């Protein structure tokens, strides 16, 4: 099972790039405390100081108790950094922390497909760490979340990409055709062209990754 999912690691390489687009700011208006805080966090993240960025997001989360984005990013940084963590004790501590912040974000924003994808990625971190031990329990859970997120936002290219990539990994392993998933990835790329995040600092990553998969796995 572990082979099915190790490919996911690559997925995160392009993830940090998203931060960049978020920082673009309309300079006309004086930024609020929230905007300044978020910008600072994204800057730290871009400078490869992801833990410091997470700390800033965590501070913002305690001040902005009705905004799901700060806890979402705290969780996301913990999840991303877990993919390369080899020490199980540290891994569990980080993923426990990520889970707490996902729970916090979920309490603010219900049925949020981005949070579902993040939750699925948290499960994937466990599977990547030890597929034999965690694959059986967590892969169906992750599958279900990818399907659910897509059902909620069928035209969101990030949801299309996440599910197609997950399914593609399993199809490749079993030597099945990846053609149907390539079609989905193309659809995601087309939709990314016109995709507008719902609001400032909303997740907007995925386009680069979709193109990369297309180049690597589809023809």
Partner 1 sequence: MKTLFFTILLVTFPSIFSAQTEISGRVFDTNGTPIMGANVYLDGAYDGATSEENGYFTFSTSETGVQTLVISYVSFETAEITMEVSKMQNLKINLREDVNSLETVTISAGSFTAGDNSKINALKPLDIVTTASALGDFVGALQTLPGTTTVAEDGRLFVRGGDANETQVFIDGIRVFKPYSPTANNIPTRGRYSPFLFDGITFSTGGYSAEYGQALSSVLLLNTVDEPTQEKTDIALMTVGGGVGHTEKWDKSSISVNTSYINLAPYIALFPDRNDWEKPFESVAGEAVFRHRIGDGLLKVYSAFDTSNFELTQEDINKPGGQDFGLNNNNFYTNASYLKMLNNNWTVFGGASFTSGKTKVGFEETTVNSTENAAHLKLKLKKRFHNRLILSFGAEQFLSGFKENFNDDSTAAQLEFDNNISAAFAETDIIFLRSLALKLGLRGEYSQLFDEATLSPRVSFAYKTGKSSQLSLAYGNFYQQPESNILKFNNNLSAQQTQHYILNYQYSANNRIFRAEVYRKHYKNLVMYTDEYPSFDSEFSNSGNGFAQGLDLFWRDNKSIKNMDYWISYSYLDTERKYKNYPVAATPSYANTHNLSVVGKYWVDAWKSQLGFSYQYGSGRTYTNPNTEGFLQSKTKGYNNVSLNWAYLISPQKILYASVNNVLATKNINGYQYANTPDTNGNFARREILPAADQFFFVGFFWTISEDGTDNQLDNL
* Residues that bind partner 1 in the complex, under the rule CB under 8 A: 3, 33, 36-37, 51-52, 54-56, 58-60, 62-63, 78, 88-90, 92-94, 96-97, 130, 132-134, 136-137, 140-141, 143-144, 146-147, 167, 170-171, 174, 176-177, 180
* In the complex, least distance from residue 59 CB atom to partner 1, rounded to whole angstroms: 4
**Alpha carbons 206 and 65: distance in angstroms, whole number:** 27
* In the complex, least distance from residue 89 CB atom to partner 1, rounded to whole angstroms: 4
**Alpha carbons 214 and 42: distance in angstroms, whole number:** 28
**For partner 1, which is the closer residue by CB, 5 or 207?**
5
**For partner 1, which is the closer residue by CB, 58 or 208?**
58
Asked whether 211 and 192 are in contact (CB, 8 A), the reply is no
* Helices assigned H by DSSP within 83-178: 88-108, 113-129, 131-152, 157-173
**Alpha carbons 196 and 117: distance in angstroms, whole number:** 18
**For partner 1, which is the closer residue by CB, 56 or 161?**
56
* In the complex, least distance from residue 194 CB atom to partner 1, rounded to whole angstroms: 26
* In the complex, least distance from residue 217 CB atom to partner 1, rounded to whole angstroms: 16
* In the complex, least distance from residue 27 CB atom to partner 1, rounded to whole angstroms: 21
* 28 Cβ contact list (under 8 Å, min separation 6): none
* In the complex, least distance from residue 78 CB atom to partner 1, rounded to whole angstroms: 8
Q: If you search the block for the tokens 């399907």, which residue do you land on?
A: 147
What Rg do the C-alpha atoms of the chain give, in angstroms?
17
**For partner 1, which is the closer residue by CB, 3 or 84?**
3
**For partner 1, which is the closer residue by CB, 97 or 209?**
97
**For partner 1, which is the closer residue by CB, 88 or 190?**
88
* 166 Cβ contact list (under 8 Å, min separation 6): 8, 120, 142, 143, 146
Task: Name which of 25, 27, 58 is nearest 39 in CA terms.
Answer: 25
């Amino acid at each position: 099972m572990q082979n099915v999912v190790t490919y996911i690691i690559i997925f995160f390489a392009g993830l940090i790039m998203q931060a960049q687009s978020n920082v673009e700011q309309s300079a006309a208006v004086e930024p609020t405390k929230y905007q300044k805080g978020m910008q600072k966090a994204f800057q730290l993240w871009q400078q490869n100081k992801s833990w410091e960025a997470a700390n800033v997001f965590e501070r913002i989360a305690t001040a902005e108790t009705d905004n799901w984005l700060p806890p979402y990013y705290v969780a996301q940084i913990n999840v991303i950094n877990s993919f390369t963590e080899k020490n199980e004790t540290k891994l569990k501590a980080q993923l426990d922390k990520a889970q707490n912040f996902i729970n916090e974000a979920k309490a603010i924003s219900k049925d949020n497909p981005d949070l579902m994808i993040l939750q699925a990625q948290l499960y994937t971190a466990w599977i990547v760490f030890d597929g034999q031990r965690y694959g059986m329990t967590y892969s169906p859970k992750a599958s279900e979340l990818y399907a659910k997120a897509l059902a909620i936002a069928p035209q969101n290219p990030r949801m299309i990409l996440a599910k197609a990539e997950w399914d593609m990994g399993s199809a490749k392993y079993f030597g099945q055709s990846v053609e149907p998933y390539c079609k989905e990835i193309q659809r995601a790329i087309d939709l990314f062209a016109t995709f507008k995040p719902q609001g400032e600092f909303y997740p907007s990553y995925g386009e680069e990754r979709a193109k990369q998969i297309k180049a690597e796995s589809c023809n």
